[in-house]
Structure 1
Amino acid sequence: MGEDLFNEIDNLPDDILPEDQESDLYEHYRFVADKGQGQIRVDKYLAMHIVGVSRNRIQQAADAGCILVNDKPVKSNYKIKPLDTISVVMNRPPREMEIIPENIPLDVVYEDEDLMVINKPAGLVVHPGFGNYQGTLVNAVAYLLKDTPEYDAKDPRLGIVHRIDKDTSGLIVVAKNAYAKAHLSAQFFNKTTKRQYMALVWGSVKEDEGRIEGNIGRSLKDRMLMTVFPDGDYGKTAVTHYKVLERLGYVTLVQCKLETGRTHQIRVHMKHIGHTLFNDERYGGNEVLKGTNFAKYKQFVQNCFNICPRQALHAQTLGFIQPRTGEELMFEAPVPEDMASLLTKWRGYIANREI
């Protein structure tokens, strides 16, 4: 790959698929420094180990957050130490990534000759990527469709049409053939699909409903985070509509509709207006952001974190046009058990007000 791979570094911030997706990073190179490795700059080390790539391009890759040492981004002047693990990652998979079919149970809520709709559980990664080469939704779908002649898990013209984050539950659509993939992708691109999410956020949302607009792009300080930028500076236009469903004291249950689909859109937009998703570790929602300082209250919140050990976000509704028949299909996934228990816990808190 060499220089051809590194020439794509400039496009790293672009989303791969039009959906509120996980910030997937795909490993393209991995090296482990020898026990006797002398301290050497990481850019020089990689220039010595990767054929056909300039040190200047490696430095640009480091600036883009694509050079990791022991799974953490480093600058080009980082000094390699013995037994360091050095990785070059991108936001697209290597051209030749083997997809191994795996018998992973899936909740298939609909299937026809062109597509299937799956209710993804929280914790299941959608696509193989850095640190998650197996045990993903793609591996599970490859197993389900292993006897379908026209389906090839490695063919980008087939398969997952959009993605939702690893720790987000809910509906996702898979195309079985190229015709379906093209038509479904066009619906997502043209914003004609119908998608609603349910989220529990910190704080009492002031307005009963509202619209959030703000460019979303990768943080200039931490490439693993997304952030909202002033219009015209960085990122891509993003619009989220929200509506309050239930007020539960120090948290609020909201419904979110995506007008666009950017990486972590709901998580970033809600944080931007001061309402971080409950237990969203990446964006600070796993801290007590609202409430009292009483130890009993803090223990109550910790119990809530234990009940729902992930961001409280669920892709509840998905609607689109069946590519071949033109029929409008609409699906709704029930609130998953962990979020349902979490809501029950907060309702009990509101009813009793003991804490």
Structure 2
Amino acid sequence: MSDEPLIDDDDATVLEARLATGGARLDKALAEIFPELSRARLQALLAEGVVSRDGQAVSIGSAKAQTGLYRIALPPVVSATPAPEAIPLTVLFEDADLIVIDKPAGMAAHPAPGCETGTLVNALLAHCGASLSGIGGVARPGIVHRLDKDTSGVMVAAKSDRAHAGLSALFAAHDIERTYIALTRGAPSPMTGRIETLIGRSSSDRKKMAVLRSGGRSAVTDYVVQKVFGLPAKAGGAPMAARVACTLHTGRTHQIRVHLASKGAPILGDPAYGSGSPAAAVRAAIAGAGLARQALHAAVLGFVHPISGGALRFETPPPADMADLERALEAL
């Protein structure tokens, strides 16, 4: 549900410099106080959310620069070339240009510090061999979008450079159908709606994203509450849990997780955004189902094939841990 890697400051090289004069474009001003970084590189770092001013995240290179202490957490360089690994894949579609898989929870999309092996890239290198697109770079061949490591569901990867370019253009234009299923604590209100906010790095925890009043990037999610579980005895009370379908119109890091939490209905099992404890009966259901991750599944991915022009649409049901949890919730 996102295209950006998380950056852990503990593994990053941190640069700091003070800007004494504001008013210029931010990316231009930063290039002057950080001469070791190109303006294009700074624009990419701003987009990744690793630049801050006086402790507040900044992300828009075209904005006017303000004076203050700027800090950049440079992502560590992954120098090792990923090795092919014979990891079984559930392939939904494959041709000469692309491959669509049903990614299991627990598999990262690509190598990153602390997770160099066992990723989708390692599996694709073994499955596709030399045909995998190299546009994504040495560490991320074929990857055009991400699902969080502990989010399951449908992903597409490019096997040819022309498919990579075409898919990237579709994602950039948000011309992709993407629907996710989430099991939440309580339920968002109203039962259907659109969540439209700015999302950027949290100023209090750089590993997390947050809804921001200014800065960040536009994020739009439509949602529908499909089922509610554990209805209260008193009229007007909130249910214990819900099944929510979320349709993405943008693809920000942790977008659905942040948006549902902002509605007071965080995803069950979410270690980062699941603030507050669910009801005892829901906790028991989670334990009984063996859910050890956020209950989020990328159920639908639809797009126009970038080479053939044909319409493709893939849909998979939530895996066993989420299905078992939903059955347990239905019994509440």
TM-score category, normalised to shorter length: 0.7 to 0.9
User: What is the aligned-residue RMSD (CA, Å)?
Assistant: 3.2
1:241 equivalent in alignment to 2:222: yes
1:67-146 matched pairs, under 5 angstroms: 90-91=74-75, 94=77, 96-146=79-129
Query: Displacement, 1:104?
Result: 1.1
**1:303 aligned to 279, 287, 293, which one?**
287
- Residue 241 of structure 2 aligns to which amino acid in structure 1? V
Matched residue of 2:131: which SS? Answer: coil
Query: Displacement, 1:234?
Result: 1.7
**1:217 aligned to 192, 200, 223, which one?**
200
Name the CA distance, whole Å, in 2 between partners of 1:101 and 1:308.
Answer: 29
Name the CA distance, whole Å, in 2 between partners of 1:314 and 1:171.
Answer: 8
Do the aligned residues in 2 keep the contact of 1:215 with 1:238 (CA within 8 Å)? yes
Name the CA distance, whole Å, in 2 between partners of 1:149 and 1:278.
Answer: 35
CA deviation digits over 1:108-145, x for unaligned, max 9?
11100100001000010111112111111111111112
Aligned to 1:253: 243
Query: CA distance change for structure 1 residues 168 and 90 in 2, over 3 Å: closer, same or farther?
Result: farther
Q: Please, which runs of 5 or more residues in structure 1 have no aligned partner?
A: 1-18, 32-41, 44-51, 54-59, 66-87, 350-355
Do the aligned residues in 2 keep the contact of 1:21 with 1:165 (CA within 8 Å)? no
CA deviation digits over 1:206-251, x for unaligned, max 9?
3221000110000011100100011xx1210111000011111200
Aligned to 1:5: none
Aligned to 2:161: 178
TM-score, normalisation: structure 1: 0.70
Name the CA distance, whole Å, in 1 between partners of 2:255 and 2:172.
Answer: 15
Matched residue of 2:217: which SS? Answer: coil
Name the CA distance, whole Å, in 1 between partners of 2:172 and 2:285.
Answer: 39
Name the CA distance, whole Å, in 1 between partners of 2:151 and 2:167.
Answer: 21
Identity of aligned residues (%): 40
Aligned to 2:7: 25
Aligned to 2:261: 271
TM-score, normalisation: structure 2: 0.74
Do the aligned residues in 2 keep the contact of 1:124 with 1:136 (CA within 8 Å)? yes
Name the CA distance, whole Å, in 2 between partners of 1:260 and 1:24.
Answer: 17
Name the CA distance, whole Å, in 1 between partners of 2:135 and 2:10.
Answer: 22
Name the CA distance, whole Å, in 2 between partners of 1:348 and 1:228.
Answer: 34
Name the CA distance, whole Å, in 1 between partners of 2:92 and 2:12.
Answer: 39
Matched residue of 1:270: which SS? Answer: helix
Aligned to 2:48: none
- Residue 348 of structure 1 aligns to which amino acid in structure 2? A
Query: CA distance change for structure 1 residues 211 and 180 in 2, over 3 Å: closer, same or farther?
Result: same
Name the CA distance, whole Å, in 2 between partners of 1:27 and 1:63.
Answer: 16
Name the CA distance, whole Å, in 2 between partners of 1:61 and 1:129.
Answer: 22
